[in-house]
Amino acid sequence: MIHRECGVLKTSYAADMALYPVPLARWTVGAIAAAAFGVFPLLAGDYLLSIANLAAIAVVGAIGLNILTGYTGQISLGHGAFMSVGAYTAAILATRAGLPVWVCLPAGGAMAALVGMIVGSPSLRIKGLYLAIATLAGQFVIEWTINHVTWISGGVQASIYVPRPALGGLLIQSQREMYYFIMTVAALGVVAALNLFRTRAGRAFIAIRDHDVAAEIIGIHIFRYKLLAFAISSFYAGVTGVLYTYYLGIANYEQFTIVTSIDFLAMIIIGGLGSILGSIFGAVFLTLLPIVLRYVVEGIGGLFFTIPDVLNLITNVQLILFGALIVFFLVVEPEGLNKLWRNIKDYFRVWPFAY
Amino acid sequence: MALLWIEDVVKDFGGVRALDGVSLEVRERELLAVIGPNGAGKTTLLNGISGVYHPHRGRITLGGLDITHFPPHRVARLGVARTFQNIALFKGMTVLDNLMLGRHVRMRSGIFPSIAYWGLAQREEVRHRERVEEIIDFLKIQDIRKRVVGALPYGLQKRVELGRALALEPRLLLLDEPMTGMNQEEKEDMARFVLDVSEEWGVTVVLIEHDMGVVMDISDRVAVLDQGRKIAEGSPGEVRSDPAVIEAYLGAGKRRA
Domain locations in chain A as residue ranges: 22-258
When pLDDT is averaged across residues B94-98 and rounded to a whole number, the result is: 95
Name residue B249's amino acid: Y
Question: Does A121 have pLDDT greater than 60?
Answer: yes
Q: Are A105 and A185 in contact (CB under 8 A)?
A: yes
Asked if A79 has any chain B CB less than 8 Å from its own CB, the reply is no
> What is the rounded average pLDDT for all residues in chain B?
91
Between β-strands B31-35 and B221-226, what pairing exists: parallel, antiparallel or unpaired? parallel
Question: Does B253 have pLDDT greater than 60?
Answer: no
When pLDDT is averaged across residues B234-257 and rounded to a whole number, the result is: 77
Which residues of chain A lie closer than 8 angstroms to B78, CB-CB? none
| Nearest by Cα to A267 from A325, A228, A194, A185 | A325
Residue B207 three-state SS: strand
Measured in angstroms, the CA of A92 and the nearest CA of chain B are apart by 27
pLDDT in tens, A135-144: 999 999 999 9
Question: Does A313 have pLDDT greater than 80?
Answer: no
What single DSSP character describes residue B244? H
| Nearest by Cα to A229 from A30, A40, A82, A45 | A82
pLDDT for B65 equals 93
Question: Does B256 have pLDDT greater than 60?
Answer: no
pLDDT for B167 equals 96
A-facing residues of B in 193-222 (CB < 8 A) are none
**Distance (Å) of CA B22 to CA A147, B62, B120, B186:** 60, 16, 46, 32
Architecture of domain B2-79+170-250: 3-Layer(aba) Sandwich (3.40)
Measured in angstroms, the CA of A199 and the nearest CA of chain B are apart by 6
Question: Does B214 have pLDDT greater than 50?
Answer: yes
Cα-based torsion angle of the residue sequence A301, A303, A308, A311 in order, rounded to the nearest 10 degrees: 20
Residue of B50, B90, B105 with shortest CB distance to A207 = B90
Which residues have CB under 8 Å from A345's CB, separation 6+?
A1, A2
Measured CA to CA, the distance from residue B97 to residue B149 in angstroms comes to 9
Chain B contact probe: residue of A20, A198, A218, A338 with most B CBs at under 10 A: A218
Question: Does A6 have pLDDT greater than 80?
Answer: no
Lowest mean pLDDT among A291-300, B78-87, B167-176, B207-216: A291-300
Q: Which helix (H) or strand (E) holds A145?
A: helix A129-148
Question: Does B70 have pLDDT greater than 90?
Answer: yes
Name residue B130's amino acid: E
Which residues of chain B lie closer than 8 angstroms to A217, CB-CB? 50, 52, 72, 76, 81-82, 88
Q: Are A78 and A262 in contact (CB under 8 A)?
A: no
**Distance (Å) of CA A25 to CA A5, A271, A340, A348:** 10, 21, 18, 14
pLDDT for A218 equals 94
When pLDDT is averaged across residues A276-298 and rounded to a whole number, the result is: 89
Lowest mean pLDDT among A63-77, A95-109, A243-257, A308-322: A308-322
A-facing residues of B in 70-99 (CB < 8 A) are 71-73, 76-77, 81-82, 84, 88-93, 97
Between β-strands B172-176 and B204-208, what pairing exists: parallel, antiparallel or unpaired? parallel
pLDDT in tens, A69-79: 999 999 999 99
When pLDDT is averaged across residues B17-31 and rounded to a whole number, the result is: 93
Buried b (16+ CB within 10 A) or exposed e, A240-272: bbbbbbbbbebbbbebbbbebbebbbbbbbbbb
| Nearest by Cα to B177 from B85, B46, B86 | B85
Domain locations in chain B as residue ranges: 2-79+170-250
B-facing residues of A in 205-234 (CB < 8 A) are 206-207, 209-211, 213-222, 228, 232
Half-sphere exposure of A235 (CA within 13 A, CB side): 15
Reported confidence tier of residue A1, pLDDT bands at 50, 70, 90: very low
Q: Please give, one letter per residue, the 3-state secondary structure of A160-218.
A: EECCCCEECCEECCCHHHHHHHHHHHHHHHHHHHHHHCCCHHHHHHHHHHHCHHHHHHC
| Nearest by Cα to A200 from B133, B106, B74, B80 | B106
ipTM for the predicted complex comes to 0.90
Reported confidence tier of residue A324, pLDDT bands at 50, 70, 90: confident
